[in-house]
Homo-oligomer: A and B are copies of this chain.
Amino acid sequence: MSKKTIHFGGMIHGVGSTTDGWRHPDIDATASTNLDFYKARAQLAEKGLFDFVFIADGLYISEKSIPHFLNRFEPMTLLSTLAAVTENIGLVGTFSSTYTDPFTLARQLMSLDHLSNGRAGWNLVTSPQAGVAKNYNNRALPPHHERYKIAQEHLDVVRGLWQSWEADAFIRDKETGTYFNPDKFHQLNYEGEYFQVAGPLNIGRSKQGEPLIFQAGSSEDGRAFAAANAEAIFTHASSLEKAKEFYDDIKKRAKEQGKNPDNIKVYPGISPLVGDSLEDAEAQYQAYAKLTPIEHAVRYLARYFDDYDFSRYDLDAPFPELGEIGKNAFRSTTDYIKQRAKEKNQTLRQVALEQAVPRPQFIGTAEDVADEIQRWFEAEAIDGFIISADIPHSFERFVDEVIPILQARGIYRTEYPGTTLREQVGVPITE
């Protein structure tokens, strides 16, 4: 078996995840619907031998949403277009198990997997925002725990449909007139509490068998679901210690389920910022952060708490006690925000600014950033990182400057191991 190396994915996120970052002079303010921007990023990530590009998503906006959310490409169509302009990099999109039909989603993902020669991945989310229901016939957002029950059935249907045809089902013998082997063609006939789907699916298996399953929940329900189902996990890690705790927990849960823990990869998201010096990088961050006024930062924070109205609180008083608020939305994020505010005695202003324009944890020269990545990797706290780089030039500098250092140190690959997403990530191709 080849030596273990670090892995990267690349989040591509238009004008970025802040309220005001788009005002930076070096940002293309049209990026969220500019195919040239996405194409350049995807090709750069491919040059950097990343496992995949990753497209986040949301299904509900209001006039208070950040610019990127208001006007952006839909992930399935975007990834299908990127399939034509890339060759080896995986294409991972975010799709909801609460607000999609499993037959349609199974089919679109498998079709993308064929169109890309085996590079599709599904980041399964349960859609945490209450407003989404208003766009889907008022099908109310189920409680957090039930959303994961629905997710389990949805995924079971999708994976069941993906096995409608065995890998060698299509014979296409012109002489005998045999197009397929009926013994390798299966009806699903799924009858669950939430879904009833007969199948079969009208597309066969792909070069990598079937799309890779990503999951991003970090709550108790989310971790249990991920360990049972996911092949890769997108998570947040505020420190090396917390990352290590999460990593060990997921691998232990996987083992308890009788799975090979190596086949569930853990990728925290980071926003590395490379400068000519630490001071230069700091200055880049400050120039970016100062674009966001405090009112916008508070509004951004509110989104995690179901658009909670924070205006009644003093900005410079301790962060308020919120009780159950936020528990049914982005639970792991809101739990973390509450706990951290308490631990650090933060004010509302501090919490809001920290959330709206987080200070990069991996910051400094290219050597500094490479050192920190290596430290996390050698501590066995991660399998890889998802690089999210809103600050201008930070994505380019990561690929052009940090990657070669990691390669020189022998902890990053110098070529793609294969052509499918499963090969790039290092999990088995499904039979």
Give chain A's interface residues, CB within 8 Å of chain B: 20, 22-25, 29-30, 33, 35, 58-61, 63, 65, 67, 69-74, 76-78, 80-85, 99-101, 103-104, 107-108, 110-112, 114-115, 131, 134-138, 165, 170, 172, 174, 177, 179-180, 182, 185, 195-200, 202-204
Contact = CB atoms under 8 A, between A and B. Distances in A.
A184 to B, nearest CB: 11
Best-buried of A20, A60, A67, A80 by chain B (most CB within 10 Å): A80
Nearest to A138: B196
Nearest to A185: B63
Contacts of A78: 80, 111, 115
A71 B107 contact: no
Given A33-B203, A136-B101, A179 B77 contact: no
Given A84-B84, A135-B199, A137-B195, A74 B107 contact: yes
Nearest to A182: B63
A252 to B, nearest CB: 36
A142 to B, nearest CB: 16
B170 A71 contact: yes
A347 to B, nearest CB: 24
A177 B23 contact: yes
B203 A135 contact: no
Q: State the 6 A-B residue pairs at the shortest beta-carbon distance, nearest first.
A: A80-B80, A84-B84, A134-B198, A74-B111, A29-B172, A77-B111
A35 B25 CA distance: 40
Contacts of A135: 103, 197-199
A253 B138 CA distance: 36
* Copies of this chain held together in the complex: 2
B185 A30 contact: no
A99 B104 CA distance: 9
Nearest to A110: B74
B182 A114 contact: no
Given A85-B84, A174-B23, A197-B137, A70 B180 contact: yes
A411 to B, nearest CB: 34
Contact of A70 (B81, B136, B202): B202
A196 B74 contact: no
A127 to B, nearest CB: 12
A107 B58 CA distance: 12
A197 B71 contact: no
Given A77-B115, A134-B197, 9 more contacts: A22-B174, A35-B114, A72-B202, A80-B81, A82-B84, A84-B84, A135-B198, A135-B199, A138-B196
Contacts of A77: 76-77, 80, 108, 111-112, 115
Contacts of A177: 20, 23
A111 B73 contact: yes
Contacts of A84: 81-85
Contact of A100 (B80, B104, B203): B104
Given A84-B85, A103-B59, A165 B71 contact: yes
A61 B203 CA distance: 10
7 contacts: A30-B172, A35-B114, A61-B202, A73-B111, A73-B114, A81-B84, A134-B196
A156 to B, nearest CB: 14
B73 A76 contact: no
Given A29-B172, A115-B35, A137-B195, A202 B71 contact: yes
A198 B180 CA distance: 46
A33 B70 CA distance: 35
Nearest to A73: B111
A203 B135 CA distance: 14
Contacts of A112: 77
A38 to B, nearest CB: 9
Given A59-B103, A103-B59, A108 B74 contact: yes
